[in-house]
Amino acid sequence: MEIIRAKDYDDMSRKAANIVSAQILIKPDSVIGLATGSSPIGLYNILVERYEKGDLDFSRIKTVNLDEYKGLGGDHPQSYRYFMNKYLFSKVNIPIENTYVPNGLEEDPEKAVTDYIQIIRSLGGIDLQLLGMGNNGHVGFNEPGTPFELEVACTTLTDDTIEANKRFFEKKEDVPRLAYTMGIKAIMHAKKILFVVSGERKAEMVAKAFFGPVTHEVPASILQLHNNITVIGDEAAFSKLPI
Ligand code: GLP
Protein backbone atom coordinates (compact mmCIF):
# COMPACT_ATOMS: atom_id res chain seq x y z
CA MET A 1 0.00 0.00 0.00
CA GLU A 2 1.34 3.38 -0.98
CA ILE A 3 0.09 6.38 0.96
CA ILE A 4 0.45 9.77 -0.69
CA ARG A 5 -0.15 12.90 1.35
CA ALA A 6 -1.68 15.83 -0.46
CA LYS A 7 -2.01 19.37 0.88
CA ASP A 8 -5.65 19.88 0.06
CA TYR A 9 -8.43 18.76 -2.28
CA ASP A 10 -6.86 20.35 -5.37
CA ASP A 11 -3.49 18.78 -4.67
CA MET A 12 -5.16 15.39 -4.09
CA SER A 13 -7.03 15.75 -7.38
CA ARG A 14 -3.85 16.64 -9.28
CA LYS A 15 -1.88 13.73 -7.84
CA ALA A 16 -4.72 11.31 -8.58
CA ALA A 17 -5.19 12.72 -12.09
CA ASN A 18 -1.47 12.09 -12.73
CA ILE A 19 -1.94 8.40 -11.97
CA VAL A 20 -5.03 8.08 -14.18
CA SER A 21 -3.29 10.02 -16.97
CA ALA A 22 -0.24 7.75 -16.77
CA GLN A 23 -2.50 4.72 -17.01
CA ILE A 24 -4.17 6.09 -20.16
CA LEU A 25 -0.84 7.00 -21.75
CA ILE A 26 0.82 3.69 -20.97
CA LYS A 27 -2.18 1.60 -22.01
CA PRO A 28 -4.51 3.55 -24.31
CA ASP A 29 -7.08 0.72 -24.31
CA SER A 30 -7.24 0.48 -20.51
CA VAL A 31 -10.34 -0.62 -18.65
CA ILE A 32 -10.91 1.95 -15.93
CA GLY A 33 -13.32 1.52 -13.05
CA LEU A 34 -14.89 4.85 -12.15
CA ALA A 35 -16.43 6.32 -9.03
CA THR A 36 -18.86 9.14 -8.30
CA GLY A 37 -19.31 11.48 -5.34
CA SER A 38 -17.59 14.76 -4.60
CA SER A 39 -14.15 13.17 -4.10
CA PRO A 40 -13.33 12.46 -7.78
CA ILE A 41 -14.85 15.60 -9.35
CA GLY A 42 -11.58 17.55 -9.17
CA LEU A 43 -9.66 14.76 -10.80
CA TYR A 44 -12.24 14.44 -13.60
CA ASN A 45 -11.93 18.19 -14.23
CA ILE A 46 -8.17 17.82 -14.63
CA LEU A 47 -8.57 14.87 -17.02
CA VAL A 48 -10.94 16.99 -19.12
CA GLU A 49 -8.40 19.87 -19.18
CA ARG A 50 -5.68 17.51 -20.32
CA TYR A 51 -7.95 16.07 -23.01
CA GLU A 52 -8.74 19.59 -24.23
CA LYS A 53 -5.03 20.37 -24.48
CA GLY A 54 -4.58 17.29 -26.62
CA ASP A 55 -2.57 15.38 -24.02
CA LEU A 56 -5.04 12.55 -23.39
CA ASP A 57 -7.01 10.37 -25.77
CA PHE A 58 -10.01 8.41 -24.49
CA SER A 59 -11.04 6.90 -27.82
CA ARG A 60 -9.99 3.36 -26.86
CA ILE A 61 -10.65 3.57 -23.12
CA LYS A 62 -13.43 1.45 -21.63
CA THR A 63 -15.03 2.31 -18.33
CA VAL A 64 -17.23 0.55 -15.83
CA ASN A 65 -18.81 2.39 -12.92
CA LEU A 66 -18.96 1.23 -9.36
CA ASP A 67 -22.59 1.74 -8.56
CA GLU A 68 -26.00 3.20 -9.33
CA TYR A 69 -29.14 3.96 -7.35
CA LYS A 70 -31.92 1.45 -8.04
CA GLY A 71 -34.91 3.31 -9.41
CA LEU A 72 -33.08 6.22 -11.04
CA GLY A 73 -32.71 6.44 -14.82
CA GLY A 74 -29.79 8.07 -16.60
CA ASP A 75 -31.74 11.28 -17.12
CA HIS A 76 -32.30 11.78 -13.38
CA PRO A 77 -29.85 14.47 -12.19
CA GLN A 78 -28.88 12.40 -9.13
CA SER A 79 -28.24 9.20 -11.03
CA TYR A 80 -24.62 8.19 -11.41
CA ARG A 81 -25.02 7.82 -15.18
CA TYR A 82 -26.04 11.48 -15.27
CA PHE A 83 -23.08 12.41 -13.06
CA MET A 84 -20.59 10.60 -15.28
CA ASN A 85 -22.00 12.10 -18.48
CA LYS A 86 -21.87 15.55 -16.92
CA TYR A 87 -18.38 15.50 -15.44
CA LEU A 88 -16.49 13.30 -17.86
CA PHE A 89 -18.11 11.40 -20.72
CA SER A 90 -19.67 14.39 -22.51
CA LYS A 91 -16.41 16.32 -22.25
CA VAL A 92 -13.88 13.84 -23.65
CA ASN A 93 -13.74 11.63 -26.75
CA ILE A 94 -14.83 8.40 -25.10
CA PRO A 95 -17.37 6.52 -27.23
CA ILE A 96 -20.45 6.36 -24.99
CA GLU A 97 -20.88 2.66 -25.85
CA ASN A 98 -17.52 2.07 -24.17
CA THR A 99 -18.94 3.31 -20.86
CA TYR A 100 -21.00 1.17 -18.51
CA VAL A 101 -22.99 2.33 -15.52
CA PRO A 102 -25.38 -0.23 -13.99
CA ASN A 103 -28.97 0.21 -15.14
CA GLY A 104 -30.84 1.76 -12.22
CA LEU A 105 -34.14 1.18 -13.99
CA GLU A 106 -33.73 -2.60 -14.06
CA GLU A 107 -36.39 -3.67 -11.61
CA ASP A 108 -35.33 -7.27 -11.31
CA PRO A 109 -32.28 -7.29 -9.01
CA GLU A 110 -31.28 -10.76 -10.17
CA LYS A 111 -31.16 -9.67 -13.80
CA ALA A 112 -29.38 -6.43 -12.94
CA VAL A 113 -26.72 -8.33 -10.98
CA THR A 114 -26.23 -10.95 -13.73
CA ASP A 115 -25.93 -8.30 -16.46
CA TYR A 116 -23.43 -6.30 -14.42
CA ILE A 117 -21.30 -9.37 -13.68
CA GLN A 118 -21.28 -10.25 -17.36
CA ILE A 119 -20.12 -6.77 -18.32
CA ILE A 120 -17.30 -6.79 -15.77
CA ARG A 121 -16.14 -10.23 -16.93
CA SER A 122 -16.42 -9.38 -20.63
CA LEU A 123 -14.08 -6.43 -20.12
CA GLY A 124 -11.40 -8.92 -19.18
CA GLY A 125 -10.38 -7.29 -15.91
CA ILE A 126 -10.16 -3.74 -14.62
CA ASP A 127 -6.73 -2.16 -15.07
CA LEU A 128 -7.28 0.73 -12.68
CA GLN A 129 -10.14 1.12 -10.23
CA LEU A 130 -10.83 4.54 -8.78
CA LEU A 131 -12.46 4.55 -5.35
CA GLY A 132 -13.84 7.01 -2.85
CA MET A 133 -15.25 6.12 0.54
CA GLY A 134 -18.52 6.90 2.26
CA ASN A 135 -18.49 8.38 5.78
CA ASN A 136 -19.37 4.95 7.17
CA GLY A 137 -16.48 3.22 5.38
CA HIS A 138 -18.47 1.97 2.40
CA VAL A 139 -16.89 1.58 -1.01
CA GLY A 140 -19.23 1.71 -3.98
CA PHE A 141 -22.44 0.94 -2.11
CA ASN A 142 -20.98 -1.98 -0.14
CA GLU A 143 -22.42 -0.97 3.18
CA PRO A 144 -21.05 -2.21 6.53
CA GLY A 145 -21.88 -5.89 6.85
CA THR A 146 -21.99 -6.64 3.10
CA PRO A 147 -20.18 -9.96 2.47
CA PHE A 148 -16.77 -9.52 0.86
CA GLU A 149 -17.27 -12.43 -1.54
CA LEU A 150 -19.96 -10.81 -3.72
CA GLU A 151 -18.93 -9.87 -7.25
CA VAL A 152 -21.94 -7.56 -7.62
CA ALA A 153 -24.71 -6.80 -5.15
CA CYS A 154 -28.07 -5.13 -4.79
CA THR A 155 -27.70 -3.44 -1.41
CA THR A 156 -29.96 -1.63 1.02
CA LEU A 157 -28.54 1.75 1.91
CA THR A 158 -27.96 2.38 5.58
CA ASP A 159 -29.45 5.36 7.33
CA ASP A 160 -25.95 6.91 7.56
CA THR A 161 -25.60 6.80 3.80
CA ILE A 162 -29.10 8.13 3.15
CA GLU A 163 -28.37 10.93 5.61
CA ALA A 164 -24.98 11.71 3.94
CA ASN A 165 -26.38 11.63 0.40
CA LYS A 166 -29.62 13.54 1.03
CA ARG A 167 -27.73 16.79 0.38
CA PHE A 168 -28.00 16.02 -3.32
CA PHE A 169 -31.78 15.49 -3.23
CA GLU A 170 -34.65 17.80 -2.41
CA LYS A 171 -35.55 15.82 0.68
CA LYS A 172 -34.37 12.73 2.52
CA GLU A 173 -37.39 10.70 1.35
CA ASP A 174 -36.24 11.14 -2.26
CA VAL A 175 -32.98 9.23 -1.69
CA PRO A 176 -33.42 5.72 -3.13
CA ARG A 177 -33.24 2.94 -0.55
CA LEU A 178 -31.56 0.37 -2.79
CA ALA A 179 -28.55 0.42 -5.09
CA TYR A 180 -26.64 -1.81 -7.45
CA THR A 181 -22.95 -1.96 -6.66
CA MET A 182 -19.80 -3.67 -7.80
CA GLY A 183 -19.02 -6.07 -4.97
CA ILE A 184 -15.83 -6.23 -2.94
CA LYS A 185 -14.74 -9.35 -4.81
CA ALA A 186 -14.77 -7.59 -8.19
CA ILE A 187 -13.11 -4.49 -6.71
CA MET A 188 -10.34 -6.62 -5.20
CA HIS A 189 -9.75 -8.22 -8.61
CA ALA A 190 -8.78 -4.87 -10.16
CA LYS A 191 -5.09 -4.81 -11.09
CA LYS A 192 -4.56 -1.43 -9.43
CA ILE A 193 -6.66 0.60 -7.06
CA LEU A 194 -6.51 4.38 -6.67
CA PHE A 195 -8.28 5.51 -3.52
CA VAL A 196 -8.98 9.21 -2.91
CA VAL A 197 -10.19 10.76 0.30
CA SER A 198 -10.50 14.31 1.52
CA GLY A 199 -11.84 16.23 4.46
CA GLU A 200 -11.96 16.04 8.22
CA ARG A 201 -15.29 14.15 8.24
CA LYS A 202 -13.55 11.04 6.85
CA ALA A 203 -10.43 11.23 9.07
CA GLU A 204 -11.45 8.68 11.67
CA MET A 205 -12.84 6.23 9.14
CA VAL A 206 -9.79 6.38 6.88
CA ALA A 207 -7.55 5.58 9.87
CA LYS A 208 -9.77 2.61 10.74
CA ALA A 209 -9.90 1.46 7.13
CA PHE A 210 -6.15 1.34 6.56
CA PHE A 211 -4.75 0.83 10.06
CA GLY A 212 -7.50 -1.05 11.87
CA PRO A 213 -8.62 -4.66 11.64
CA VAL A 214 -10.03 -5.99 8.38
CA THR A 215 -13.73 -6.24 9.14
CA HIS A 216 -17.09 -6.28 7.37
CA GLU A 217 -18.05 -3.38 9.58
CA VAL A 218 -15.57 -1.18 7.70
CA PRO A 219 -15.86 -2.37 4.10
CA ALA A 220 -12.87 -0.27 2.94
CA SER A 221 -10.63 -2.15 5.41
CA ILE A 222 -10.37 -5.10 2.99
CA LEU A 223 -8.39 -2.81 0.67
CA GLN A 224 -5.37 -3.17 2.98
CA LEU A 225 -4.99 -6.63 1.46
CA HIS A 226 -4.84 -5.44 -2.16
CA ASN A 227 -1.36 -5.81 -3.60
CA ASN A 228 -1.35 -2.61 -5.68
CA ILE A 229 -3.23 0.18 -3.99
CA THR A 230 -2.41 3.88 -3.80
CA VAL A 231 -4.22 5.94 -1.20
CA ILE A 232 -4.19 9.69 -1.75
CA GLY A 233 -5.61 11.92 0.95
CA ASP A 234 -5.42 15.53 1.97
CA GLU A 235 -4.12 16.74 5.33
CA ALA A 236 -7.57 16.86 6.92
CA ALA A 237 -8.46 13.30 5.89
CA PHE A 238 -5.08 11.98 7.08
CA SER A 239 -5.08 13.93 10.35
CA LYS A 240 -5.87 10.81 12.40
CA LEU A 241 -3.54 8.31 10.73
CA PRO A 242 -1.20 6.65 13.25
CA ILE A 243 1.83 7.41 11.03
C1 GLP B 1 -21.55 7.55 -2.52
C2 GLP B 1 -21.00 6.52 -3.49
C3 GLP B 1 -19.58 6.10 -3.17
C4 GLP B 1 -18.74 7.30 -2.83
C5 GLP B 1 -19.32 7.98 -1.63
C6 GLP B 1 -18.49 9.13 -1.11
O7 GLP B 1 -22.24 6.99 -1.44
N8 GLP B 1 -21.79 5.35 -3.58
O9 GLP B 1 -19.05 5.37 -4.26
O10 GLP B 1 -17.41 6.91 -2.59
O11 GLP B 1 -20.61 8.46 -2.01
O12 GLP B 1 -18.92 10.34 -1.61
P13 GLP B 1 -18.14 11.69 -1.44
O14 GLP B 1 -16.93 11.57 -2.28
O15 GLP B 1 -19.11 12.72 -1.97
O16 GLP B 1 -17.86 11.85 -0.01
Annotation marks residue 76 as catalytic: no
Would residue 67 show up in a list of annotated catalytic residues for this protein?
Answer: yes
Question: Residues 143, 165, 226, 234: which is the catalytic one?
Answer: 143
Q: Where are the domains of the chain?
A: 2-133+193-206+221-234
What is the whole-number distance in angstroms between the Cα of residue 194 and the centre of ligand 1? 14
| pLDDT score, position 21 | 99
Average pLDDT on 54-74 reads: 98
User: 1-49, pLDDT tens digit by residue?
Assistant: 999 999 999 999 999 999 999 999 999 999 999 999 999 999 999 999 9
Question: Active site includes 159?
Answer: no
Q: Does residue 61's CB lie within 6 angstroms of at least one atom of ligand 1?
A: no
Is the whole-model pTM more than 0.85? yes
Q: What is the pLDDT at residue 189?
A: 98
pLDDT of residue 212: 98
Topology (CATH level 3) of domain 2-133+193-206+221-234 = Rossmann fold (3.40.50)
Please say whether the beta carbons of 173 and 206 come within 8 A. no
The residues with which 6 forms a beta bridge, in sequence order, are: 234
